[in-house]
Structures are given as C-alpha cells and as structure tokens.
Amino acid sequence: MRLDKLLANMGFGTRKTVKDVLKSKEVTVNGLVEKEGKKQVNPEKDAIAVSGEAIQYQEFVYFMLHKPQGVVSATTDNVHKTVIDLLQPQDQSRDPFPVGRLDKDTEGLLILTNDGTLAHNLLSPKKHVDKCYQASIEGIVDEQDIQEFASGITLDDGFNCQSAKLEIESIDVEKEQSVIRVTIHEGKFHQVKRMFEAVDKSVSYLKRLSMGEVQLDETLKLGEYRPLTKAELDSLTHS
C-alpha cells in the first residue's frame, strides 16, 4: 500500500493534503523519516508513526449511526443530506457506505462500513439476519394481522415476504392507532410500510431498533454515531 493512501485512510488528510504532512518530516517508517507518498509500506509489518505516535492501521471501519429523519441512506445525493454527511471528515475518508437502506423519513439503527463482504452477508435473505422495527400504525392491529405476518405477507408487486414476527405494544381505540414491533429478514423497498398497506393499515412513524444481535445504542442522539464494539462486530460476523 502507498504511504500517502494509508495516511489518508487513517484521517491525516486527503491524498493531496497528506503531502504537507510528509514534507513536515514528521512521518517515519521503521524509525526513518519518509517524505515520499508513493513509498510502498506493509501496515502489518512496518512501524509507521506520525509525530512520534505509532499508527495502528485498520483496514475496515464499522459505525453505528442513529439515523434521523430527513437524511437519505446513500453515499452521495445532489439534493438531500446523506448519512455520510453526518460523519467526521476523517471517517468519511475511509469511504464507508450504509448497510442497506432506511427510508428518508425512517429513524434508527444504521450500520456504516467499508467492508463489502460483511455488508453482503448482512443483507442476503439466505442469512436470515433479523431486523426489528418499532412503528406507529394508523389502524387497530389485531390477532389476524399477527397471523398474516407470520404466514408471509404478499406485497402489491406480488413479492411474497418471509414469515415476520408482529407484536402489539399498545392500542389506542379512540384514535384507532397502534404501536407495534415487527421483525423481518429481508429489506425490500419500503417493505414494512408495504406490509401494513397489504392489511389495509398505514405506518405513520418507523424506527429500526436492531439488526442481528446489534441493538441501537439509545444514548446516541439522532445524527450521532460511534464505532461498533468488538462484541457487536463479532455478533455480526458470526451471524
């Protein structure tokens, strides 16, 4: 790997601005000052330091974001703010992307990473990775709905959803509203909303609570994020 790429990936600037860091003579490789960005280094074998501080290279990054409404689950968008825009510049430089999508008006847990293999495994229907949501529903959710979700809802385009677990948290009879939790395995476009449309109800609020065994850290405010813990990452890699 080129030294300038490694430094850029570790948050010391872009490939261009890293040149200034190298010119400062503060970068050492195996104890020797190195000013050439094109120098090839091995992060696992070479001792690389900036201003005397050793650099521990991490190939992949894994973040948990508490996604707010009004932000799109994309890396770029010409109109709307993206989830990547919520990250610090040094984290943006690692080229993370959202694992799956949450609708623009949906809140909750979103995992961001640059690990394509992990993302593929988490999104593959064959892996049966649970995704749990809390939702406010216009309409009274009942036992028949629970049974239909368990049997597999058919969406408006004919797609047959896998069995889903629907749980009722509360019902307001006067307002004809329900608060529920639903656990699904796929991630089709607007899937939860379309599942409720199939039983003649509508979703007015949606929040993802968990993905696999990783639960949304409720201490994170909307728009905040943090790295996944080792235990959280291990639970995803062994899903």
pLDDT value of position 163:
95
* Statement to judge: residues 134 and 203 lie in one domain: yes
Per-residue DSSP letter, 100: S
pLDDT over threshold 80, residue 125: no
pLDDT value of position 93:
82
Side-chain-side CA neighbours of residue 150 (13 Å): 8
* Residue that has been written with the tokens 């889903």 in this structure: 164
- pLDDT tens digits, one per residue of 127-164: 889 999 999 999 999 999 999 999 999 999 999 999 99
* Statement to judge: residues 138 and 201 lie in one domain: yes
Task: Compute the distance between CA of residue 196 and CA of residue 145 in angstroms, rounded to an integer.
Answer: 9
How many structural domains are present in the chain? 3
* Statement to judge: residues 78 and 110 lie in one domain: yes
State the residue range of the domain holding 164.
130-211
Q: Please report, for residues 19, 32, 35, 39, 41, the alpha-carbon distance to residue 25 in angstroms, rounded to integers and kept in the order given.
A: 10, 10, 6, 14, 17
pLDDT value of position 126:
80
Task: Compute the distance between CA of residue 58 and CA of residue 66 in angstroms, rounded to an integer.
Answer: 23
The angle at the Cα of 33, spanning 28 to 39, to the nearest 5 degrees, equals 75
235, 228 Cβ separation under 8 angstroms: no
- Looking at this protein, which amino acid is placed at residue 92? Q
pLDDT value of position 78:
94
* Residue that has been written with the tokens 């000013």 in this structure: 35
Strand partners, 53: 50
Burial of 56 (0-12, 13-18, 19+ CB in 10 A): exposed
Q: Please report, for residues 92, 101, 126, the alpha-carbon distance to residue 211 in angstroms, rounded to integers and kept in the order given.
A: 23, 12, 15
pLDDT value of position 239:
63
* Statement to judge: residues 73 and 173 lie in one domain: no
- pLDDT tens digits, one per residue of 42-90: 988 999 999 999 988 888 999 999 999 999 999 999 999 999 999 998 8
Residues designated as active site: 103
pLDDT over threshold 80, residue 238: no
Pairing of strands 48-50, 214-215: unpaired
Q: Given 54, 73, 93, which residue is the final one in a domain?
A: 54
Q: Closest Cα to residue 186, out of 117, 110, 118, 128?
A: 128
* Statement to judge: residues 50 and 152 lie in one domain: no
* Statement to judge: residues 32 and 141 lie in one domain: no
Length of the chain: 239
* Statement to judge: residues 155 and 183 lie in one domain: yes
Task: Compute the distance between CA of residue 84 and CA of residue 88 in angstroms, rounded to an integer.
Answer: 9
* Average pLDDT score, the chain: 94
pLDDT value of position 10:
81
